[in-house]
């Protein structure tokens, strides 16, 4: 940090700051000396200079927030991310048009941040049979969530020559505080409560699970890197099946859990193996080390 930065704290706007990832990222950025301006969607909360209400679907509201914050950095996490969300149109309203509103707001207010980091998803790759998907793979989304993120990326590319933007494609990640409609927290909760059984879908699907603490460290390091006009996978390169996770959780807790396969949880569009290549991420931010998944599982079970 230069002495100029010492007098002028770095201002970073985080959309979706109240979400699972946002809470960890905000803590991480504050520890690194950023003044974080969080946005929230709810109506009930009072606004403060560092907590602003943002309806991402409103162009006018987006302009107001960018004008008020004039951030050095933007990290755009706000999205509808639960694949089973019931209104397909919401995915496009929030994930595509919401992102466009934010970029248009920068243009409309004449504000160019040092960098905007925009979170996409590895779901854009679709059902690819590969254990090392890199950023050059084609986008073949198989559900509305993934399709909305792919459309969002395509739209963001048209802004690469106008704003310094970096798109991140995180693969699956987890940690303490993630909602129990996600698989790993659901498994952890069942073991923690020593439930007799659990209902799951296909336990042989394999995912490249990262630790949320690693993901936010990667985001923060990428903000500080020189990379812009790029897309970067955020992953570890090591897939685990749910069967392996169940077995590891059983070893860690000494508890045996009866697994019942519920056909309703087996989605036809489920991707069988989704594991990324972290080669580009490691080249850009070699200082960020992945956290072994068994350590993540141990940390979550200890909560």
Q: Determine contact, residues 115/164, Cβ cutoff 8 Å.
A: yes
Q: Determine contact, residues 242/205, Cβ cutoff 8 Å.
A: yes
Helices first, then strands: H and E counts in the chain:
11, 15
**CA distances, 134 to each of 139, 274, 277 (Å):** 11, 11, 5
What does the DSSP 8-state code read for residue 229?
S
Which among 159, 57, 154 is positioned nearest to 65, based on CA atoms?
A: 57
Q: Got the DSSP string for 76-110?
A: E------TT-S-HHHIIIIIIIHHHHHHHHHHHTT
Q: Would you give the end-to-end CA distance of the chain in angstroms?
A: 35
| Structural tokens at position 70 | 């004039």
Instruction: Based on the residue annotation, tell me whether 125 is a catalytic residue of this protein.
Output: no
- Residue from 24, 73, 125, 145 carrying the catalytic annotation: 145
Q: Determine contact, residues 120/169, Cβ cutoff 8 Å.
A: yes
- CA-to-CA distance for 14 and 37, rounded, in angstroms? 6
The catalytic residue positions are: 145
């Amino acid at each position: 940090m230069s002495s100029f930065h010492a007098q002028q704290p770095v201002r970073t706007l985080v959309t979706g700051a109240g979400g699972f990832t946002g809470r960890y990222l905000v803590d991480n950025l504050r520890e690194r000396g950023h003044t974080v301006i969080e946005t929230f969607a709810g109506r009930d909360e009072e606004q403060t200079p560092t907590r602003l209400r943002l309806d991402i679907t409103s162009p006018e509201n987006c302009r107001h927030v960018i004008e008020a914050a004039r951030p050095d950095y933007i990290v755009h996490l706000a999205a509808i991310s639960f694949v089973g969300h019931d209104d397909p149109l919401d995915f496009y309203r929030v994930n595509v048009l919401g992102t466009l509103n934010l970029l248009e707001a920068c243009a409309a207010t004449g504000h160019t941040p040092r960098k905007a980091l925009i979170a996409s998803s590895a779901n854009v790759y679709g059902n690819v049979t590969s254990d090392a998907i890199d950023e050059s793979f084609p986008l073949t989304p198989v559900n509305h969530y993934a399709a909305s993120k792919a459309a969002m990326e395509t739209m963001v590319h048209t802004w690469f020559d106008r704003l310094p933007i970096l798109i991140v494609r995180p693969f699956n990640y987890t940690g303490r505080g993630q909602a129990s409609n996600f698989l790993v927290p659901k498994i952890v909760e069942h073991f923690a409560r020593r439930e007799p059984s659990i209902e799951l879908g296909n336990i042989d699907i394999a995912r490249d699970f990262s630790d949320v603490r690693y993901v936010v460290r990667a985001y923060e390091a990428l903000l500080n890197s020189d990379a812009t006009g790029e897309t970067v996978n955020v992953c570890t390169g090591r897939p685990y099946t749910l069967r392996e996770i169940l077995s590891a959780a059983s070893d860690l807790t000494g508890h045996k859990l009866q697994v019942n396969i519920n056909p309703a949880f087996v989605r036809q569009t489920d991707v069988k193996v989704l594991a990324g290549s972290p080669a580009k991420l490691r080249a850009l931010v070699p200082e960020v080390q992945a956290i072994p998944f068994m350590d993540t599982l141990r940390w979550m079970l200890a909560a």
